[in-house]
């Protein structure tokens, strides 16, 4: 039985719902210069919705990690139950995120849209937790793109973080879209399982970040938890 009523903000049920909100906000507002992580859960409640699942009401703060600013948000998260199994349904109000760092994507887009030197990298971060400063935008983009997967895969028994960008390769642009093949490793903090995903990611000034394709790679029995950084 899942907990209902007033929840301890620091315990798993509230934190799990808040992490889902984090992933949802990244799918809405995320860019190479705008990537949010959960900062704090202020309060949370949960209720069973007959025939639908468990609904969480959460007041939280998220931190935009590039600018190191925090925003207060409120959200509802419904984890479908019974016959309605599927990704969580989220409604969130956090409008300050859309106003942060409005010029940065133009610079990055201009830098990589010529297609003369297609970028590629692997192991972000490396085994020492290091990321070359020039590659940090692609670590950020991988984090935002991973939120599309983590939102889709989340349920009441998971707590996902991106562990590593294993590989990123820029493809030829299509129209005004930069396109990248990503391979990312995701870490479920509950089961301690590392899952490997292949993503086709697009970036454009008009549409922001989109994940056009996602594919789960068969389980790697030798994969450990890579080092992780949020800077």
Domain ranges of the chain: 5-99, 104-217
Per-residue pLDDT, 2: 62
Same fold, 5-99 and 104-217: yes
What's the confidence (pLDDT) of residue 224? 57
User: Which CATH number does 5-99 carry?
Assistant: 3.10.450.10
User: Comparing C-alpha atoms, which of 9, 38, 13, 2 is closest to residue 190?
Assistant: 13
Answer positive or negative: Cα dihedral of 133, 134, 140, 142.
negative
Residue 109 has a pLDDT of 78
pLDDT given for residue 231 in this prediction: 46
Per-residue confidence (pLDDT) for residue 221, from 0 to 100: 60
* CATH number corresponding to 104-217: 3.10.450.10
Residue spans of the chain under pLDDT 50:
1, 231
The candidate with the shortest Cα–Cα distance to 170, out of 215, 120, 207, is 120
- Take residue 131 and report the two structure tokens written for it: 């990321």
- Determine how β-strand 89-93 pairs with β-strand 120-124: unpaired
Tokens of 162: 């991106």
Contact 58, 77 (CB under 8 A): yes
Q: Kindly give the pairing relationship between strand 160-174 and strand 36-49.
A: unpaired
pLDDT of residue 102: 56
Closest by CA to 33, choosing from 134, 104, 119, 94, is 104
């Amino acid at each position: 039985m899942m907990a209902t009523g007033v929840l301890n903000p620091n315990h798993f049920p509230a934190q799990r719902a808040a992490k889902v909100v984090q992933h949802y906000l990244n799918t809405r507002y995320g860019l190479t210069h705008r990537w949010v992580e959960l900062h704090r859960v202020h309060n949370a409640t949960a209720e069973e919705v007959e025939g639908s699942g468990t609904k969480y009401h959460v007041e939280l703060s998220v931190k935009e990690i590039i600018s190191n600013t925090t925003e207060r948000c409120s959200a509802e998260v419904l984890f479908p139950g019974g016959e309605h199994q599927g990704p969580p349904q989220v409604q969130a109000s956090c409008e300050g995120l859309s106003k942060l760092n409005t010029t940065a994507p133009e610079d990055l887009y201009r830098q990589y849209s010529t297609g003369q030197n297609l970028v590629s990298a692997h192991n972000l971060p490396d085994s020492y937790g290091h990321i070359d400063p020039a590659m940090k935008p692609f670590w950020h983009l991988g984090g935002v793109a991973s939120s599309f997967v983590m939102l889709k895969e989340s349920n009441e028994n998971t707590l996902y973080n991106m562990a590593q960008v294993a590989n990123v390769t820029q493809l030829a642009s299509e129209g005004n879209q930069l396109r990248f093949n990503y391979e990312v490793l995701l870490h479920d903090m509950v089961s301690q399982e590392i899952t490997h995903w292949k993503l086709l990611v697009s970036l454009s000034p008009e549409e922001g970040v989109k994940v056009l394709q996602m594919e789960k790679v068969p389980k790697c029995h030798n994969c450990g938890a890579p080092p992780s950084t949020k800077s």
